[in-house]
């Protein structure tokens, strides 16, 4: 079974509007962390935001916020006031704490295209 | 400060040849990871080094893949007898040592694009 599922292979959003990128995950570990990364066409992976499984509040970082619904095992990324520079691939990833390697498991990504 | 660096940025090789990919992590980062990203796909974990501990090789797809980390710093990923399906971007990341439930962000390098003809 997929541990991280991103069901939207591609999305369009109008500049200045908000957009939600979906991410669901599957783990039996009670402690885990969820990450979102942005990958522009240049290829580098840029860390955006983190949510810990025990965090009481949804994470926010500037225009990025994470809609964390633990019971539903979803961690959707919300980008407010979209900008043209937000056009990129977005990856959701999970780190399970009982994984001694602490490696990240990534979803398949969502390509976001911002229209002017 | 300097980020994670990788070399070469691009590598084209013929099927059956061996290749070496290099990663220089951020100074002071004890954890180092190798991932592979095939075209249009997410990242696939390959191998993880943490300090002087034995590496976690659970993600290596075959025995043609190996990696070393010398002196707890620079790492080399070696692919022997390359196949066309090895064509991908190989990404290296580093982080500080994980402690408890705290998270330490993984900082990624720019990747090496490997093309096997």
Give the tens place of pLDDT for each residue, B16-28: 999 999 999 999 8
Is residue A33 a contact partner of residue B79, using CB atoms and an 8 Å limit? no
User: Looking at the complex, does the CB of residue A5 fall below 8 Å from at least one CB of chain B?
Assistant: no
Q: Would you place residue B53 in the very low, low, confident or very high pLDDT band (cuts 50, 70, 90)?
A: confident
Whether pLDDT at B100 is above 70: no
The pLDDT assigned to B103 comes to 63
What's the pLDDT score for residue B39? 83
- φ and ψ at residue A98, rounded to 5 degrees: -85, 5
Residue B104 has pLDDT above 80, yes or no: no
Residues 6+ apart with CB under 8 A from B27: B1, B2
Contacts of A62 (CB under 8 A, 6+ apart): none
pLDDT value for B36: 96
CA distance B42 to chain A (A): 4
**Which structure tokens are listed for A32?**
């885990």
Residues of A with CB below 8 A from B58's CB? Answer: 101
CA distance B34 to chain A (A): 9
The per-residue pLDDT for A78 is 98
Q: Is the pLDDT of residue B47 over 70?
A: yes
- Tell if the CB–CB gap between B110 and A43 is shorter than 8 Å: yes
**What pLDDT shows up at residue A98?**
53
Mean pLDDT, consecutive 10-residue stretches, chain A (116 aa), reads 90 97 94 93 91 91 96 97 97 79 87 96
What mean pLDDT comes out for the span B72-92? 95
Q: With cut-offs at 50, 70 and 90, classify the pLDDT of residue B1.
A: low
Q: Kindly report the three-state secondary structure assignment for every residue of chain A.
A: CCCEECCCCEEEEECCCCEEECCEECCCCCCEEEEEEEECCCCCCEEEEEEECCCCCCCEECCEEEEEECCCCEEEEEECCCCHHHCEEEEEEEEECCCCCCCCEECCCEEEEEEC
């Amino acid at each position: 079974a997929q541990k991280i599922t991103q069901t939207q292979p591609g999305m369009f959003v109008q500049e200045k509007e908000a957009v939600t990128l979906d991410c669901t995950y599957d783990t039996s570990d009670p402690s885990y962390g969820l990450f979102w990364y942005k990958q522009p066409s240049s290829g580098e992976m840029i860390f955006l935001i983190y949510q810990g499984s025990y965090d009481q509040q949804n994470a926010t970082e500037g225009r990025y916020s994470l809609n964390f619904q633990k019971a539903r095992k979803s961690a959707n990324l919300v980008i407010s006031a979209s900008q043209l520079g937000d056009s990129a691939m977005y990856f959701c990833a999970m780190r399970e704490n009982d994984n001694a390697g602490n490696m990240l498991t990534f979803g398949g990504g969502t390509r976001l295209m911002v229209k002017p | 400060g300097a980020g994670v660096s990788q070399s070469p940025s691009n590598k084209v090789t013929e099927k059956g040849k061996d290749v070496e990919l290099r990663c220089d992590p951020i100074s002071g980062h004890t954890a180092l990871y190798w991932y592979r990203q095939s075209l249009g796909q997410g990242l696939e974990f390959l191998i993880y080094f943490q300090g002087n501990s034995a590496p976690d090789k659970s993600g290596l797809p075959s025995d043609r893949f190996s990696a070393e980390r010398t002196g707890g710093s620079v790492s080399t990923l070696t692919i022997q007898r390359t196949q066309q399906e090895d064509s991908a971007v190989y990404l290296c990341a580093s982080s500080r040592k994980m402690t408890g439930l705290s998270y330490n962000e993984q900082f990624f390098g720019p990747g090496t694009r490997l093309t096997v003809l």
